[in-house]
Chains A and B, each alone.
Chain A
Amino acid sequence: MKDELAKRIVQSLKEAGIDFVTYLPETRLSQIIPLIRDDPGMELIAAASEQEAVTIAAGATLGGKQAAVYMENTGIYVSCYSLLAIGKQLGVPLLLVVGFLGGVPDQRNSFLYATIGKHTIPVLEGLGIEYLVLEDSEKLEIKVQDAVRAMNALRAPFALLFAGEFSI
């Protein structure tokens, strides 16, 4: 991903009110990590598992923050339990910022990722989690704002799946 895109993602998150981010690093969007870390208006918390990242972000949301969880799509599988038990059952809005590996629009797709990618959207749909796939940066800022508005209205997690231009 071009550095300029990473800056736009972080700026979009900030403008949408995200001020607390938990994460496990991955490859596609990793340039956003130092940008969030160095932003005094955002708190960045490293977790040891995406399941944990979801619960920490949920606690922060209940405490008054507007939280996002940054993960690879493999983390969707790891965090299914807490997405359901805390995100859906308790009804806690969370923005899932997901590097979407292995989907058709993943520009670095390979046999390593394709199976992971194939099941991501069916799993989100099975969990009843709304999502948007972003293949290019057109209207990026508006899409991030739409996602944050939707998650708060639904009182539920909402996933932004970054692929295409973001996976180069």
Chain B
Amino acid sequence: MIRHECLELLAARMTDQLVVTSQSGQRIEWSHLSKHEGNLLIGMMGCAIGVGMGLALALPHRKVIVLDSDGSVLLSLFNLATLGNLRPKNLVIYVFDNGVYSGSRISYPTATSGNTDLEAMARGAGIKNAHTIRNVEEFKEKGVEALARDELAFFVCKVEESLMHREIPRPSTDLAENKYTFVRYLERTEGKPIRFIGRG
């Protein structure tokens, strides 16, 4: 299974969900596949789950999706404990675990290519609905299906390292531009102003 196959399946299901991606492959591939205004493309590792949690708590009636990686989750393991206690029902997290720091260009192994099991860590942290997915059929059955459920889900998607994100065009959208598109989309769909925008 490669990440792009999974992202294609998710992109076909996008309606009004909010999608937060971390750096790097998932950000590049997702922005190529989806031009949804509800995409928030975080340019750094280790921040997407936190931002996704905040969105999910602020907007409990909206489905929030986080597209993350093993390297990124390993950088912010404290998120697992907070997720395991808060358990926001409207949050679905997909961790594309290729076992390497692919963005490093030397594909140096992450801890998950050794002894570390993110699903076990998530369960130990209190995330009951944590699963490891190893093929596309399983991703369709469990991963995509979770979008229709009202429960925190944490999927460790075991993917092969794919270099597709190095070949497809990188998004040229500025981070601030993306942020304003995102919050204007929320203003429109939520029918209320985002407060920090303020008056000019």
Contact = CB atoms under 8 A, between A and B. Distances in A.
A112 interface: no
Contacts of B76: 49, 51-52, 55
Interface stretch (A7-15, A25-33, A62-70): A62-70
- The residue among B86, B179, B196 with the most chain A CB atoms within 10 A of its own CB is B196
Nearest to A22: B54
A57 B47 CA distance: 11
Contact of B51 (A46, A47, A55, A66): A55
Interface string A35-52: 000000001011111011
A155 interface: yes
A85 interface: yes
Nearest to A82: B47
Interface string B37-61: 0001011101101111111111100
A90 B42 contact: yes
A90 B179 contact: yes
A151 B197 CA distance: 11
Interface residues of B, number: 37
Nearest to B53: A56
Interface stretch (B77-85, B110-118, B134-142, B148-156): B77-85
Contacts of B176: 90-91
Interface residues of A, number: 38
B125 to A, nearest CB: 9
Interface in B8-64: 20, 40, 42-44, 46-47, 49-59
A45 B175 contact: no
Given A61-B58, A62-B58, A65-B195, 17 more contacts: A43-B57, A46-B85, A47-B78, A48-B78, A49-B76, A52-B82, A54-B50, A55-B49, A55-B51, A56-B51, A56-B54, A59-B51, A59-B54, A64-B186, A90-B176, A93-B196, A152-B196
